[in-house]
Amino acid sequence: MGIAVAGMDFLSDRASMMREALQKSQTITDNVVSILGSFDSRLSALETAMRPTQIRTHAIRKAHENIDKSLKSAEVILAQFDLSRQAEAKILKGPHEDLEGYLAAIDQLRSNIRFFSSNKNFKNSEGVINHSNTLLAKAISKLEDEFKQRLNSYSKPIEPDRLFDGLPNSLRPSSGSPGNQGEPGGRGPSHNHSEHQNVDLETAVYTPPTLIPPRIIPLLHDLAKQMVRAGHNQQLLKIYKETRSLVLEESLRKLGVEKLGKDDVQKMQWEVLEAKIGNWIHFMRIAVKLLFAGERKVCDEMFEGFDSLSDQCFAEVTASSVSVLLSFGEAIARSKRSPEKLFVLLDMYEIMRELHSEIETIFKGKACNEIRESALGLTKRLAQTAQETFGDFEEAVEKDATKTAVLDGTVHPLTSYVINYVKFLFDYQSTLTQLFQEFETGDGTVSQLASVTMRIMQALQTNLDGKSKQYRDPALTHLFLMNNIHYMVRSVRRSEAKDLLGDDWVQIHRRIVQQHANQYKRNAWQKILQCLSIQGLTSSGGGSSVGDGGNSSGVSRALIKDRFKIFNMQFEELHQRQSQWTVPDTELRESLRLAVAEVLLPAYRSFLKRFGPLVENGKNPQKYVKYTAEDLERMLGEFFEGKNINEPKR
């Protein structure tokens, strides 16, 4: 109990002490608050007293900042003046000694003009700008002179040999210049044409020559860029055109290109014109794939970043050269049509087709529209003229009225000409297919070519039928037709025309050849074979002789003699005449001789065996039995050899 009372007293004392402590703390807090309030009022007073000083200090600091800015601006302006003086000094020296430094000075001058134009508050800025602009105009004028001088210095005509080095081996001239009248590259304008060669040419690699040294192009590009920035595009175009167009024209002239028009073409002999067309085809390849391609590269590099200017410069520079080349093609396409021109027209059409993609690529852009359209127009005109010439040829074959005498019945020059013509056409089969597509009529191009070929062959046959009527001897008429149609059949069988005309055509015309051979035998040998017939050999009394087992009983010796005399005379006449006739094909000639021998010799042997003794037993038997069967066989071997071909008889 005592312990509990003691604990309560202890707690009471502790609580009393805590109350006293709290009272002291509150007193201290009140005192501190009172002191802080006194500080606040004194600080406010101090701040009020310091404000003027702060304002003056800020003003001084701002003044210093403005002075610093002014000094820096002055330094920048002075630096611009210094750079202007340096640039002016370089510009006044000219571009010859240090072109790169000169170009840098122009850039600096432009930078100064921009600087002072944006700092118009500087009181002398207008004067500085005017002076700089005047200096810049002089600099650009000197730059134009420098561009012209450098472009002239490095623009030289390309020698033909350098151009030939860029050609595929198959097109390089073996000797001489293609500007001569010979066949360039060993390839004639129309002969020895083959379509696999065209395929090779399409995949061949061409290497355009370097027209301006690569190290010079960047400098010319920088000069051009400064002129463009100065707005001197037209001056730049004029300088480039005047310099480079003359170089291209001279390069083509050295190659052998001539400026020829329709009147010039009309006056030329065909052999000369044909050679010039062959050269033109070669020149077109060289011009487009090498010369113009090289010029396009120069333009693109020199005017990089200025595409429209590049296209315009290229169009202006090449226009005259292209015109010279295309005008010759136009002159040929518009000249008087003739069959021999078809192949050169096809050659020209081929080269224009071959170059089409290059022309579209090289002569790109709006500025070259006219050149592209001219090239395409020539291609279409060549196609049209070739097709019209094709039609003319068919008509000319049918109506050919040449009086060329073929006295020996051999193959007529017209036949060989037409067949060779058709064979050449098949060397151009893909070209003709493309040509027919230019003027599509609804039929397939292959069947269209077959149809045209058949019409030409039929026209030839019609003409030959007419020519065959010139012969007085029906046997020679049929021999002539046999020879010519056989030549047609043999030529077709050995060429691509067989696939186009078909086996039916070949078989039909082989039968026609056989029919004419049969007609020849009938007309030439029917009369003489009648001499070897027993018909009409009846007894006439007095001169009869019985022999040979009675086989010739009742037959007049005089009639037999007469028959032998007539046979000898007729055979000798046939031998004399038909030895002058010609069957040029060895196989056909031997076949025809054999066919005659198979009819004549058995009949002669039989007649000789049966009636020969009647004559041999009489006077002068050799006068009547002049030939043995072997003699006749030997003499038949001399038929159709074309001997004594100038004999006027037919």
Read off the pLDDT of residues 265-285 as tens digits, 9 standing for 90 and up: 989 999 999 999 999 999 999
Both tokens of residue 564?
A: 């032998």
Residue 320 pLDDT class (50, 70, 90 cuts): very high
Contact between 581 and 649 under an 8 Å Cβ cutoff? The reply is no
- Please report, for residues 270, 556, 565, the alpha-carbon distance to residue 617 in angstroms, rounded to integers and kept in the order given: 72, 14, 16
Note the pLDDT of residue 76. 54
Contact between 321 and 245 under an 8 Å Cβ cutoff? The reply is yes
Note the pLDDT of residue 72. 60
Note the pLDDT of residue 643. 81
What does the alpha-carbon distance between residue 81 and residue 88 come to, in Å, rounded to a whole number?
A: 10
Identity of residue 251: S
Note the pLDDT of residue 237. 92
* pLDDT tops 60 at residue 394: yes
Give the mean model confidence (pLDDT) for residues 475-484. 96
* Residue 477 vs residue 26, higher pLDDT: 477
* Packing angle, helices 629-636 and 557-578, rounded to 10: 20
Q: Which residues contact 406 (CB under 8 A, 6 or more apart)?
A: 412, 413, 467, 480
How do residues 230-267 score in pLDDT, each as one tens digit? 788 898 999 999 999 999 999 999 999 999 988 899 89
Tell me the domain boundaries of the chain.
Answer: 38-152, 158-167+205-394, 404-519, 524-535+554-635
If you average pLDDT over each of 20-24, 130-134, 430-434, which comes out highest? Answer: 430-434
What does the alpha-carbon distance between residue 112 and residue 77 come to, in Å, rounded to a whole number?
A: 10
Both tokens of residue 75?
A: 């330094």
**Radius of gyration of the CA atoms of the chain, in A:** 54
Q: Is 36 helix (H, G, I), strand (E, B) or coil?
A: helix
Q: Is 544 helix (H, G, I), strand (E, B) or coil?
A: strand
* pLDDT tops 50 at residue 185: no
* pLDDT tops 60 at residue 545: no
* Residue 160 vs residue 176, higher pLDDT: 160
Q: Is 279 helix (H, G, I), strand (E, B) or coil?
A: helix
* Arithmetic mean of pLDDT over the chain: 81
* Residue 38 vs residue 333, higher pLDDT: 333
Give the mean model confidence (pLDDT) for residues 577-584. 94
Q: With b meaning 16 or more CB within 10 Å and e meaning fewer, what string describes 329-347? A: bbbbbebebebebbbbbbb
Contact between 349 and 193 under an 8 Å Cβ cutoff? The reply is no
* pLDDT tops 90 at residue 550: no
What does the alpha-carbon distance between residue 252 and residue 265 come to, in Å, rounded to a whole number?
A: 19
* pLDDT tops 80 at residue 119: no
How do residues 356-374 score in pLDDT, each as one tens digit? 999 999 999 999 999 999 9
Q: Which residues contact 557 (CB under 8 A, 6 or more apart)?
A: 543, 544, 545, 614, 615, 618
**Among 2-11, 122-131, 491-500, the least confident range:** 2-11
What percentage of residues in the chain have a pLDDT greater than 90? 45
Helix segments in 97-232, DSSP class H: 99-117, 125-153, 160-165, 195-203, 217-229
Q: Which CATH number fits domain 524-535+554-635: 1.10.10.60, 3.30.413.10, 3.30.420.480, 1.20.1280.170?
A: 1.20.1280.170
* Residue 69 vs residue 293, higher pLDDT: 293
Both tokens of residue 315?
A: 């169009």
Give the mean model confidence (pLDDT) for residues 179-207. 53
Note the pLDDT of residue 122. 59
Both tokens of residue 409?
A: 């019945």
Identity of residue 242: E
Instruction: Using the Cα atoms of residue 275, residue 277, residue 283 and residue 289 in order, give the sign of their dihedral.
Output: negative
Note the pLDDT of residue 78. 53
Contact between 190 and 424 under an 8 Å Cβ cutoff? The reply is yes
Contact between 345 and 402 under an 8 Å Cβ cutoff? The reply is no
The CATH-assigned architecture of domain 158-167+205-394 is Up-down Bundle (1.20)
Q: Which residues contact 363 (CB under 8 A, 6 or more apart)?
A: 292, 314, 315, 318, 371, 372, 375
Number of neighbouring beta carbons within 10 Å of residue 261: 12
Q: Do domains 158-167+205-394 and 524-535+554-635 have the same CATH topology?
A: yes
If you average pLDDT over each of 28-37, 179-188, 333-342, 631-640, which comes out highest? Answer: 631-640
* Residue 477 vs residue 125, higher pLDDT: 477
* pLDDT tops 80 at residue 547: no
Number of neighbouring beta carbons within 10 Å of residue 48: 9
- CA 634 to chain CA centroid, nearest Å: 59
How do residues 497-514 score in pLDDT, each as one tens digit? 777 788 899 999 999 999
**533: nearest Cα among 592, 602, 596:** 602
> What phi and psi values does residue 576 have, to the nearest 5 degrees?
-60, -45
* pLDDT tops 50 at residue 201: yes
Q: Kind and range of the H or E element at 493?
A: helix 474-493
Give the mean model confidence (pLDDT) for residues 202-208. 82
**531: nearest Cα among 564, 554, 555:** 564
- CA 148 to chain CA centroid, nearest Å: 35
Query: Per the confidence metrics, is the pTM higher than 0.75?
Result: no
Q: Look at the block and give the residue holding tokens 């600091």.
A: 61
* pLDDT tops 60 at residue 598: yes
Contacts of residues 387-391 at CB distance under 8 Å and 24 or more positions apart, as own/partner, are 387/435, 387/436, 387/438, 387/439, 388/337, 389/337, 389/338, 389/339, 389/341, 389/342, 389/345, 390/342, 390/452
Residue 325 pLDDT class (50, 70, 90 cuts): very high
Q: Is 582 helix (H, G, I), strand (E, B) or coil?
A: strand
What does the alpha-carbon distance between residue 164 and residue 7 come to, in Å, rounded to a whole number?
A: 131
* Residue 420 vs residue 15, higher pLDDT: 420
